[in-house]
Amino acid sequence: MATLIEWNGTETEVHPKNPQRGFTREELSELTGGIPQISSLSDGRLMVADEMGKLAIPRQPVNLKATRLYAAGTESTGWAIVGNVVVGCSGEIL
């Protein structure tokens, strides 16, 4: 089960159109609002965010919930995660 974490903290369960294949790049782009960038989380799951979200004009809002999740269990770089993100396992996000 993948979760969409919107910038305002709202969480929604999301599913790929083809569960056997996982999310396509286009589906992830629609959910995040931009170019999908995949990062590994300390718990083994993957987080997908908009690669260009910090550079967008206007800049996307900081996603506090996603930023905390990304920083958990790691030496935080101080980077804030912006915009909507998708969090899921490697079988869903390729």
Would 31 be classed as within a structural domain? yes
* Domain annotation covers residue 14: yes
Sign of CA dihedral 15, 90, 22, 56: positive
Q: How many domains is the chain built from?
A: 1
pLDDT attached to residue 59: 77
Q: Is 40 among the domain residues?
A: yes
Query: What was the pLDDT predicted at 53?
Result: 79
Summarised one tens digit per residue, pLDDT across range 72-87 is 866 666 788 999 999 9
32, part of any domain: yes
The predicted pLDDT at position 77 comes to: 65
Residue 47 belongs to a domain: yes
Beta strands 2-5 and 36-40: pairing type? unpaired
CA atoms within 13 A on the CB side of 76: 11
Domain assignment present for 93: no
Range of the domain at 47: 2-88
Residue 80: which residues within 8 A CB-CB, separation 6 or more?
A: 54, 62, 63, 67
Structural domain contains residue 17: yes
How would residue 91 be classed by pLDDT, with cut points 50, 70 and 90?
confident
pTM: 0.90
Alpha carbons within 13 angstroms on the beta-carbon side of residue 74 total: 16
- Chain segment 28-60, per-residue pLDDT in tens: 999 999 999 999 998 999 999 998 777 766 778
Answer whether residue 53 is part of any domain. Answer: yes
